A and B are shown apart, each in its own frame.
Chain A
């Protein structure tokens, strides 16, 4: 399969799915190791008339990087760190570098990525393409807010550099543009100064949603990170009860042993629980509880233990343990079912501050009424950012994990469409890294029409043949 002068990347035939496992298909996966091979993959796809789905680590819950008709361009082997300035914290790396690779490199010098997700495995290219957010969205914005510059490989094979001054339109469109305009090959980003590998964390138990939101507002000014866990099962005046975690970075001198705590080795999550239970097998135990009754019990126990935690003092926790809760039990998602197309979808809604409380309560109530109760609910606070297709706004988001199996698939979809209607009517938005259910008519209602038109024009200009296409684009933005 040599292509003359074109460098050909390694290729495999694999089953490619979203992180939630509820959708996926087998496809040819190309894994370029350098920009030349990346361009080679793009050129050969154009020559063969097939589409390419750019993919990082595949951590988007839905179909953002899966491909039912064409090839997958997996960037994970392009993961070199090109430069890091320990004085300014500016990191320059290939787009396939994972967040794990980034923080392990920067932490010893006292730097931590501004925005990290709940798992450390996404690539920075994927993080930029989906414009991910973290538990500090209200304070520092989204991932794209800290990107200085990137190289984007276009469908023509041209490598175009963009930053806030040069190709500014492309900069603001490609970040959060879900890989539609091109493939990130290089990213330059700022990182944040930290004075310790530990964080101060405090739990605040809340009886209902209003109290939780009040805690967020009260803590917002001083906290670096805020995240609320919600038990979605109980209704009435306990609806939205949960636990807020307030995280604060330590200041200079607060951690006397900072040289130890900044060592990535001390950040690593333990392999066993209580010293004996191997965490790699824990998903099997969780599976026993993976039904409505079991999860009602798990959520209730978590709420009660959260009340105890809320009574205690603040404690110190490593960055990795605080941020990467999703990595704490490896493959926990398999508790939702390990067979293909069974698993979970995450349905995350973003609501403006004014309508958030009432809409979220209504949303939780409808979940209970339709017997599609989320097994995990997470509340976060957000702020707007300048990216064209951003999900972020001055308001709140609630992420809900719904179990998907063959019996519930269609009724769950219907349920989500109803919720979507509710959210859109309240001026809400959605986030493509989490989405599995939006329809084209939904997207046009929350994306500003001028920006959508400009984005489409840019897509036509940079990728007239529609080379970069994923299942998400087919579903939400059909040609």
Chain B
């Protein structure tokens, strides 16, 4: 992120096929960045590539399943070689399957853990190592406001996001000693395929708006940001509610 204006930003976006990840790829390529877009789904990636073909930046796409953590080091090497270096990693991969109020499905929960957290760690660790040695670079992790409290709705999703917040904070503190940065983004409701079935959403913003605000926060080296920022107030209030009341609330 601390690139001089002359050189294009070199970015890797993990989880780029839809939602915030795809919007970030479009946003970055519109700004002239060189972006490697990674996702599982080939068709979505190809349409993203076609869509950004005329943009000032360059987008190359790679099929990758974040559960395949063993493939990360070699793929990262390939990406950095292709891009000629790395300034920005965005981890936007995440899933939020609907979970019934009485559902305790270990398989489903662990799958969430693997994608939302395992993949994040597998990508951020080697990149953190690189950014430490090159003394610049920014990691952006797309977490969620869902990590603020343990709510009844989807225990594991909130857990993965809370864990991600904790992990990214620790990484930020480590990298800070070397001039590199980690930015935690906590979106509220964003209109994406992930939230398509979520009832009763409010303050909804588009993925494009979210992408603009995320990049603004990353550029300003913000440590942690709610998108939009008013969700920060919600999280603040949520955290203040004592447990004996919180456990009686139904949201």
With beta carbons under 8 angstroms apart, the residue of A16, A17, A339, A406 that contacts B179 is: A339
Chain B residue at minimal CB-CB distance from A1:
B74
A469 to B134, CA, bound (A): 22
In the complex, A12 Cα to B136 Cα: how many Å? 17
- B206 CB–A CB distance under 8 Å: no
Contacts of B73 in A (CB 8 A): 11-13
Is A477 an interface position by the 8 A CB rule?
A: no
Q: A439 interface residue, CB < 8 Å from B?
A: no
Q: Does A14 contact B (CB under 8 A)?
A: yes
State the CA gap A353–B76 with chains docked (Å). Answer: 53
Q: Are B134 and A13 in contact (CB under 8 A)?
A: no
* With A13-B126, A26-B85 as contacts: A340 and B77 at CB distance below 8 Å: no
Tell me the residues in window 74-131 of chain B with beta carbons closer than 8 Å to chain A beta carbons: 74, 76-77, 80, 85-86, 126, 129-130
A307 at interface, CB cutoff 8 A: no
Q: Which residues of B contact A24 (CB under 8 A)?
A: 134
Q: Which residues of B contact A17 (CB under 8 A)?
A: 133
Q: Within 8 Å CB of B80, what residues of A?
A: 13, 26
A160 interface residue per 8 A CB criterion: no
- When distances are taken between beta carbons in the complex, the residues of chain B under 8 Å from A13 are 73, 76-77, 80, 126, 129-130
Residues of A close to B86: CB separation below 8 A: 26
Is B174 positioned at the interface, with any CB of A under 8 Å from its CB?
A: no
Interface class of chain B by DSSP:
helix
For residue B72, give the distance in angstroms from its CB to the closest CB of chain A: 10
How far does the alpha carbon of A83 sit from the alpha carbon of B251 in the complex, in Å? Answer: 66
Q: Do A338 and B129 have beta carbons less than 8 Å apart? A: no
* Contact between B133 and A14, CB atoms less than 8 A apart: yes
Nearest CB on B from A329, distance (A)? 15
What are some 18 contacts across the A-B interface (CB < 8 A)?
A13-B73, A13-B76, A13-B77, A13-B80, A13-B130, A14-B129, A14-B134, A15-B133, A15-B135, A17-B133, A24-B134, A26-B85, A26-B130, A26-B134, A338-B136, A339-B2, A339-B135, A340-B136
- Contact: B134 with A340, CB < 8 Å? yes
User: When chains A and B are docked, how far (Å) is the Cα of A73 from the Cα of B77?
Assistant: 16
- Give every chain B residue within 8 A of A46 (Cβ-Cβ): none
Q: Using an 8 Å CB-CB cutoff, how does the interface string of B141-181 with A read, 1 for contact, 0 for none? A: 00000000000000000000000000000000000001100
Extra contacts, 7 of them, besides A339-B136, A340-B136 (Cβ < 8 A), are A11-B73, A12-B126, A14-B129, A15-B135, A17-B133, A26-B130, A338-B178
The interface of chain A, by Cβ under 8 A from chain B, is 1, 11-17, 24, 26, 28, 338-340, 406
* B5 → chain A closest CB, angstroms: 12
Taking a contact as CB atoms under 8 Å apart, the answer to whether B135 and A340 are in contact is yes
What's the minimum C-beta distance from B88 to chain A, rounded to whole angstroms? 15
Q: Which of A1, A24, A26, A406 has the most CB of B within 10 A?
A: A26
Q: A28 to chain B: which residues have CB within 8 Å?
A: 77
Chain B residue with the shortest CB-CB distance to A341? B134
Q: Is the CB of A338 within 8 A of B130?
A: no
The answer to whether A16 and B136 have CB atoms under 8 Å apart is no
Contacts of A15 in B (CB 8 A): 130, 133-135
Minimum Cβ distance to chain B for residue A408 (Å): 16
Complex Cα distance, B177 from A338, in Å, reads: 11
Query: Shortest beta-carbon distance, B138 to chain A, in Å?
Result: 13
Contacts of B85 in A (CB 8 A): 26
**Closest residue of A by beta carbon distance from B70:** A1
Contacts of A338 in B (CB 8 A): 135-136, 178-179
Complex Cα gap A338–B131 (Å): 12
Shortest beta-carbon distance, B141 to chain A, in Å? 20
Q: A26-B80, A28-B77 are known contacts. Are A14 and B130 too (CB-CB below 8 A)?
A: yes
Chain A residues within an 8 Å CB radius of B135: 15, 338-340
Contacts of A14 in B (CB 8 A): 129-130, 133-134
CB-CB < 8 A to B129: which residues of A?
12-14
Closest Cβ–Cβ distance, residue A59 to chain B (whole Å):
15
Within the complex, the shortest CB–CB distance from B35 to chain A, in Å, comes to 18
Chain A hits for B130, CB < 8 A: 13-15, 26
**In the complex, how many angstroms separate the beta carbon of B220 from the nearest chain A beta carbon?**
18
Q: Which residue of B74, B133, B178 contacts A16 across the interface (Cβ within 8 Å)?
A: B133
Most buried by B among A12, A15, A16, A340: A15
In the bound complex, residues from chain B placing their C-beta under 8 Å from that of A26 are 80, 85-86, 130, 134
**Which residue of chain A lies nearest to B177 when distances are taken between CB atoms in the complex?**
A280
In the complex, A16→B80 CA distance in Å?
14
Instruction: Please indicate the chain B residues that have their CB under 8 angstroms from the CB of A16 in the complex.
Output: 133
Minimum distance in angstroms from B101 CB to a CB of chain A = 45
Rounded to whole angstroms, the CA-CA distance of A24 and B136 in the bound complex is: 14
A70 to chain B minimum Cβ distance, whole angstroms, is 12
Kindly provide the distance from the CB of B176 to the nearest chain A CB, expressed in whole angstroms: 12
Most chain A CB within 10 A, of B2, B77, B135, is at B135
